[in-house]
Amino acid sequence: MSKAFTKESDAGEDDDLEPAPVPQGTKNYITPQGYRRLREELMHLIDVERPKVVEVVSWAASNGDRSENGDYLYGKKRLREIDRRIRFLTKRLDIAEVADPSLHHGSDQIFFGATVTYATAKGEERTITIKGIDEADALKGEVSWISPIARALLKAREGDEVQLVTPGGVEKIEVLEVRYPAPGEA
């Protein structure tokens, strides 16, 4: 029988996405800006995206034969994607622990939210910002606080040398500068 005439199961597509793991016994830290961004995305999905798609699906369903109705089929699939993202965001926001990095403004010790400039053994300088699991963006120089580089740097101070375990072996890095946003900066 042709695959075109078989009903493909959507099983697995509707399963909830499990949030990225948080180390046992720790909290899911996030900056106030990251929390705000996730909350805005959730509210946009609930208040704008989902109602639009529901309207299209309702209209498409009223047109009759749903088995060959592209608007209906795509709309139902899009609704499942939106609902899955809503569930994911809701779970993440429920377990989020907002930590304001500006509380450490002026400190030279590395905590969550720090922007750190360090030098590798080869003399290369790099700058990273330690963020939450749900807000880190490597393309912007942001790393998750559970990443190996962040774990190696946490609690170190300017001038300290720390050891970073990499697949290529242990690398020594020196902390050159630690910065935090000033209170009230967004």
Regarding whether 133 and 166 lie in a shared domain, the answer is yes
Contact by Cβ (8 Å): 86, 80: no
The reported pLDDT for the residue numbered 20 is: 63
* Averaged pLDDT, 37-52: 96
pTM: 0.77
- Domain-located, residue 17: no
User: What burial class does residue 38 get, using C-beta atoms within 10 Å of its C-beta: 0-12 exposed, 13-18 middle, 19+ buried?
Assistant: buried
Q: Is the pLDDT of residue 13 over 60?
A: no
* Averaged pLDDT, 17-30: 70
Regarding whether 134 and 83 lie in a shared domain, the answer is no
The reported pLDDT for the residue numbered 65 is: 73
* Averaged pLDDT, 157-165: 94
Instruction: Please give the helix or strand (H or E) that residue 183 lies within, else none.
Output: none
- Domain-located, residue 138: yes
Q: Is the pLDDT of residue 70 over 50?
A: yes
The reported pLDDT for the residue numbered 173 is: 95
Domain end marker among 81, 98, 115: 98
- Domain-located, residue 115: yes
The reported pLDDT for the residue numbered 6 is: 45
Domain end marker among 67, 98, 129: 98
Regarding whether 57 and 115 lie in a shared domain, the answer is no
User: What burial class does residue 178 get, using C-beta atoms within 10 Å of its C-beta: 0-12 exposed, 13-18 middle, 19+ buried?
Assistant: buried
- Domain-located, residue 159: yes
The distance from CA 135 to its chain's CA centroid, rounded to whole angstroms, is: 4
Regarding whether 125 and 139 lie in a shared domain, the answer is yes
Residue 133 structure tokens:
């699991």
Regarding whether 147 and 127 lie in a shared domain, the answer is yes
pLDDT-derived band at 133, boundaries 50, 70, 90: very high
Regarding whether 88 and 117 lie in a shared domain, the answer is no
The reported pLDDT for the residue numbered 19 is: 55
* Averaged pLDDT, 77-84: 95
pLDDT-derived band at 172, boundaries 50, 70, 90: very high
Regarding whether 114 and 88 lie in a shared domain, the answer is no
The CATH number assigned to the domain holding 72 equals: 1.10.287.180
- Domain-located, residue 3: no
What residue numbers bound the domain in which 32 lies?
A: 26-98
CA 80 → CA 16, 50, 90, distances in Å? 10, 10, 15
Regarding whether 111 and 92 lie in a shared domain, the answer is no
The reported pLDDT for the residue numbered 60 is: 84
For residues 78, 79, 82, 88, the Cα torsion angle rounded to the nearest 10 degrees is -120
Q: Number of folded domains in the chain?
A: 2
The reported pLDDT for the residue numbered 7 is: 45
